[in-house]
Amino acid sequence: MINDMLLPYKKMVSQGEAANTNLILEESCEEIGPASARKRRQEAYRVRQEAALFQKNLPLPDHPCNGDEDYYPNKIGNYSKGLPHNQLGEVDLNAYNALIRALSTGDPEDFESIPLGGVTKLTNPQAAYAFEMAGPDCNHLSMIAAPAFSSAWNASEMAEVYWQALTRDVAFTDYDTDPLTLAAASDLSGFSDFRGPKVNGVVTTGTLFRGNTPGDLVGPYISQFLWKDIPFGATTIVQRYRTTVAGDDHLTSYQEWLNIQNGLAPAAPNQFDSTPRYIRNGRDMGEWVHRDFSCQGTLTACLILLGFGPAAVNTTNPYLRSVTQVGFATFSAPHILDFAARAARAALETAWFQKWLVHRRLRPEAFGGCVHNLLTGTADYPINPELLNSQAVSAVFEKFGTYLLPQAYAEGSPTHPAYPAGHATYTGAGVTMLKAFFKESFVIPNPVVASADGLSLLPYSGPPLTVGGELNKLAANVALGRDTAGIHWRSDGSEGLKLGEAVAIGILQDYRNTYNEHFSGFSLTKFDGTTIII
């Protein structure tokens, strides 16, 4: 096409009209390479078409849900924050039906007709319909049904977030000795369907509030990628962050809780610590995931990993074997950074499809209102007795005078459904990208652990910490940090990580055949411990 555009100029030069050196140079420059422009155009089309056909030909998945929306006419098992509610915190059914109608039609005008209960708007439900140009369509990935409202599984997850709220100010280094974390481990061990990690069938202070993926139980609670200095161009970022003060808990009074369910502004803001700290407890981790941007965790991990040099690069990288070349636009920093970041948006679209169009799971803060109304005798809800009889519920009431779930954020949870967690989904995608480019068995040099006051980093001594294990731990820290804040359930995170992983794998599959190098494929270990080659 460029040559066709130059034809008039060629004619002018041949006639001796307006000839100049620049035009002569343009005319005499010939592209080189194994393919002509026309053939290259066809090859580019073929690569894109084959990637699209690969995704199109995958089996259509089922999208199971827990059935709560049909089972409870008052919609107590489903997300409704921001809509108008009655005094029990039950949603106005006309408003809820307007939401369902908009979600069913996808018509932008229908979303503008949803009645709100206050000033807080719903968060981006139309993202559920967006299309992506690489990787799987958001509709084309599936996940298991969320725990049902009345199930023992749901009861155990609520008990866990109660305990996470009660232990926000306990330093991770004190988990083995603090009475609250000892009580939490003991109480959670008694639930019949608690799915967090255990040792010999028992929750311990060493497994408490940790993830289930390989490496999660090795070493300190917090990943090295959230503690070590970040190489950032010509400077270095020290990972000391602003956090909130001890005891800064919200939504513990009933009227405050009800106002927030209706979408009113919080009565009081968060109170911040004047001293930046390394992440040393659940409150710090909760505040980190309150203020982070979507690819922040994986971006910083990527920069740290790049700083380790070639020894940390995955052995499948073709430039490790080259005697004349190094990577740059492919298989080096620009490539890896791009993939670590680009996965976040696709993962969010996939999460938003599941949140709004499939599950619409209620947030733990809303469930806390149901617990409170049941135990104070103002309502009758089918909450599993394992939760009602747990030490977690009585400990919360003893401290706050209500059975509501104390929130770390003044505004409580975001205004979109719980399942899956957006943070978990995009971090699962980003971590998967990093596993594809870096050597998971590489041992992280000079590991550290934060002091109990968060003011310093101390040398860590213990089992070696590998890149793969610490990336898994990073994903768990981000996912469970949102639980510690009171805004998500464990399964939101654990299943969100898997969903994000599937998004990243799909993107890697689409790009697999776009490279010129002799490349054997991306190799990585999934969150379930299995190794795949793409």
Catalytic residue positions, numbered: 416, 423
In contact, 26 and 34? CB cutoff 8 Å: no
In contact, 75 and 93? CB cutoff 8 Å: yes
**Cα 430 to the center of its chain, rounded Å:** 9
Tokens 């002799």 -> residue: 518
Q: Which residues make Cβ contacts (< 8 Å) with residue 261, sequence separation at least 6?
A: 80, 81, 85, 89, 117, 365, 366, 369
As a whole number of angstroms, the distance between CA 520 and CA 534 comes to: 8
Report angle CA 171, 176, 177 to the nearest 5 degrees: 85
As a whole number of angstroms, the distance between CA 273 and CA 119 comes to: 28
Three-class secondary structure of residue 73 per DSSP:
coil
Three-class secondary structure of residue 331 per DSSP:
strand
As a whole number of angstroms, the distance between CA 249 and CA 164 comes to: 12
Tokens 């009074």 -> residue: 253
In contact, 318 and 519? CB cutoff 8 Å: yes
Of the candidates 514, 513, 518, 516, which has an alpha carbon nearest to the alpha carbon of residue 34?
516
Three-class secondary structure of residue 410 per DSSP:
coil
Report angle CA 272, 277, 282 to the nearest 5 degrees: 75
Single-letter code of the amino acid located at 124: N
Give the gyration radius of the chain's Cα atoms: 26
Three-class secondary structure of residue 333 per DSSP:
helix
In contact, 493 and 479? CB cutoff 8 Å: yes
Three-class secondary structure of residue 364 per DSSP:
helix
As a whole number of angstroms, the distance between CA 417 and CA 96 comes to: 13
Residue 233: left (phi > 0), alpha (psi -120 to 50), or beta? Answer: left
DSSP letter assigned to residue 200: T
Of the candidates 527, 410, 483, 409, which has an alpha carbon nearest to the alpha carbon of residue 156?
483
Single-letter code of the amino acid located at 236: T
As a whole number of angstroms, the distance between CA 76 and CA 71 comes to: 10
Half-sphere exposure of 274 (CA within 13 A, CB side): 0
What does the block give as tokens for 205? 């202070």
